[in-house]
Amino acid sequence: MDTIAPRPRRTAFLLLVIPLTLLLIFGCTVQVHDRPTNPIPPEVPSRKDGSGYKSEHVFIVVMDGVRYSETFGDPTHRFIPHLYHDLRPQGTLFTHYHNRGVTVTRQGHSTLISGTWQTVPNGGPRLTRPTLFEYYRDEKRAPSTKGWSVFAKGPYAFEPYSSHPAYGSRYAGRHVHGGRQGDGLTENTPEGDVTVLNRVIEVMKTDQPDIVFINFGHTDHVGHVAKNIGEYHAAIRNCDEQMWKLWNAIQSDHHYRNTTTVFFTNDHGRHTHDFHSHGDHCEGCEHIMLLVLGPDIKKGTVIEREALQIDVATTAGELMGLQTPLATGRTLAECLTYYLELNRKEARTEAAHRALYLEQLADRNLIKAAADYVLATTKPEGVAANLIGEVLLRGMIHGQSETKEPRHLQFVQRWIDVHKHAKAIEQKAILGKVILELPSAVRKPYMDMAVQIGDRMLASPPDFADENDALIGGIFLGRLSEVTKRPRYEEPGLRMIKASLRQPDPKRPTDIEKAYELFLLGQAAALFRDDITVMKAYILTAAKALNRMKEDGALWDDPLVSVLDLCGIEASTRRGAMREFTQRREHDALPACVEAMTQQEMRALFPDRPRAPLRNLQNQLVQLIWERGKQGFPFSLDMLRYGVNEAGAYGNGSPAAQGGFLLSFKRLDWRYGGNTWPGPDSGKRP
């Protein structure tokens, strides 16, 4: 592993070459207002160890949701007297600074702190790339108290650490957000922003953090709810006051004075023609402010060259002598009095090396790699007609729908040919299920076979020894009814499923057994979503799984458990079986299947709340599915890609793991209101 070599002091070199270079590159775009910048840096870098900038601390401070036209773009600057008259002369102002993302709060803050376009909706999943906090704690071996985020807005606005498998919670900083009772942190009142300031000053004293990320949220809130624009302007004026006080607090604290760079910025603007909202690509939404002040920042300088929201994290890294290997922004060298090129985005730690390696792997065509891996390692003859075989074969069918490569489907056809004379009814049910999953054009020649299996099951209902087999048989009949549009299979199918659910399993099943059960119950729920017994069994099993979902990475400990759980949950969402949960609005009645759940069932699900009333637990169950599903699920699908190795093997490469990956993986292209589950949250304001 590389280490950071101390940089030799090249005083004369820096004194001459860097200003000259900067002059050459930016000379034509740098405009100087009020007073000229020093042609020569006043001092050479003099950090204590002589190897970097004077900045030892970075503050990124957000005035939420304000247009440039109401800050520095307003020729009168009447709402930001302090930022304009007191602070601007001491720093560098970027006049063409843009958020080119989706211009909502969650995205803006995630982008600022990660240096990547995190086009996630509010209340959406975690960031997918590491935050500055994570880079810092990893590379500098800093404790969590050295990174702090203080937010007026509630948890929907920001997640303080990423899901990246190489980083994540173990490198998280400290975080406090608004929306809770009693502590005064809120976006709803001007006092909320005052409370934010006081909390920041408090942690500056107690923890002396090096990276501080601050959200003043009232401006955006008022923008959404104000009857007249004057209220919104007053909120900007109030925030300007808090920012000025923050700057003074930094200057009067000997730990921070002269060693702190502050970025005053916005997460997004507001519509050019309607200040009430934001979220698109209009000038008002994208054009925002960036004023940078600090011991290494040029004073009284105005820069017209375009800067982007992704550039802040990279620049902060540069000032801290920190690598931000996955960040895509550039260092805003034009605002630095000297540019040392410390942040080369190099991997200098184990986590960083692993992160880059994983990114390389994850960028490939994973579905094809994984399906090819199956062809290279498995013969259809060797795949048994059981649940594991079914996972693999369905995976290959789904994989082929993505790859469009006939050989991926031929694997399945060959398997059917090999197993078409299977005798045992359990095997026949699997055979039938696989046939029904084939694309309709390919399925046709096999349909007689599927119907024969179904008719045989109707003529002499099998006495399944294993409850999973009964479940499989019932799902097959339900699906057969759906595909053939012959209702006669439906009722016996439902009966078979219900029989399998009647006896609670006395043995304690393993996580994998539970995951297979969820895999099947999700399919059953999709077929019989109006049946309370089926839905209840499914929801209870899904909730147990979601309870065990890891918060970051949003997967389960075992890769196989992860893909099977995801397959089960996704199967149920496909046909709207979860609509009562996903379209839930506050004060709605509980879904019928939850209403039907008993005290005993709820207690088993939430053992840490032994005394809570039944209704509270039922609400908690709905909340669990709503939140974990919404935030964790789409995101988990995306995270699966980090589990595939160079050869195309997911997890341990076993048939079930491989099939589960092929069946569930989706490369998600995050868009506002896009691939979230259950979709755009219209109840929550951006």
Phi, psi for 31 (deg, rounded to 5):
-110, 140
Round to whole Å and give the CA distance between 135 and 595. Answer: 46
Nearer to Zn ion, 271 or 628 (CB): 271
**Nearest distance in Å: CB 289, Zn ion:** 13
> Which tokens belong to 495?
């009966």
Instruction: Specify burial of residue 441 (Cβ count, 10 A radius: 0-12, 13-18, 19+).
Output: exposed
What does the block give as tokens for 154?
């509630």
Which residue ranges make up the site for Zn ion (CB under 5 A)?
64-65, 105, 220, 267, 271, 280, 282, 285, 686
Q: Which is nearer to Zn ion, 285 or 297 (CB)?
A: 285
* Phi and psi torsions of 191, nearest 5°: -65, -25
In angstroms, the first-to-last Cα distance of the chain is: 43
- Between residues 207 and 280, which has the closer beta carbon with respect to Zn ion? 280
Within 10 angstroms of residue 482's Cβ, the number of other Cβ atoms is: 17
**What DSSP string runs through 112-136?**
HHHSS---PPTT----SS--HHHHH
Helix (H) or strand (E) holding 301: strand 301-303
Nearer to Zn ion, 125 or 217 (CB): 217
Nearest CB to Zn ion, comparing residues 380 and 686: 686
In angstroms, give the least distance from the CB of 283 to Zn ion: 8
Of 68 and 446, which CB lies nearer to Zn ion in the complex structure?
A: 68
CB of 212 to Zn ion, least distance (A): 18
- Shortest distance, CB of residue 666 to Zn ion, whole angstroms? 28
Smallest distance from Zn ion to CB 126, Å: 18
DSSP of 42-65 = SS----TTSSS-S--EEEEEEETT
Q: Which is nearer to Zn ion, 103 or 541 (CB)?
A: 103
Q: In the complex, what is the shortest distance from the CB of residue 679 to Zn ion, in angstroms, rounded to a whole number?
A: 19
* Contact between 108 and 266 (Cβ < 8 Å): yes
Q: What would the two tokens of residue 561 be?
A: 């458990």
Nearer to Zn ion, 19 or 279 (CB): 279
SS percent in the chain: helix, strand, coil, step 5: 50, 10, 40
Tokens of 78: 């009447």
CB of 187 to Zn ion, least distance (A): 9
- Let me know: does 208 contact 253? Beta carbons within 8 Å: no
DSSP state letter for 531: -
Q: Residue 458 half-sphere exposure, CB side, CA atoms within 13 Å?
A: 19
Query: Min. distance of Cβ 286 from Zn ion in angstroms?
Result: 8
- Of residues 313 and 351, the one with the C-beta less far from Zn ion: 313
- 218 vs 187: CA distance, rounded Å: 4
Task: Respond yes or no on whether the N-terminal peptide bond of residue 678 is cis (omega within 30° of 0).
Answer: yes
DSSP 278-305: --SSSHHHHEEEEEEESTTB-SSEEE-S
Integer Cα distance of 231 and 234 in angstroms: 5
Nearer to Zn ion, 135 or 158 (CB): 158
Q: Do 171 and 130 touch, CB atoms closer than 8 A?
A: yes
Give the shortest CB-277-to-Zn ion separation in angstroms: 7
Shortest distance in whole angstroms from residue 224 CB to Zn ion: 6
C-alpha distances in Å from residue 573, one per residue of 525, 635, 677: 9, 15, 9
Distance of alpha carbon 33 from alpha carbon 73, whole angstroms: 15
Measured from the CB of residue 685, what is the shortest distance to Zn ion in angstroms? Answer: 6
Shortest Cβ distance from residue 80 to Zn ion (Å)? 17
Measuring CA to CA, which residue among 432, 448, 447, 437 is closest to residue 409? 437
Minimum CB distance to Zn ion smaller for 64 or for 580: 64
Q: Nearer Cβ to Zn ion, position 221 or 408?
A: 221
Closer residue to Zn ion in complex, CB, 158/476? 158
Give me the least distance between CB of 157 and Zn ion, in Å please.
7
The radius of gyration of the chain's CA atoms, rounded to the nearest angstrom, is 29
Tokens, residue 258: 């002269």
Per the document, the length of the chain is 686
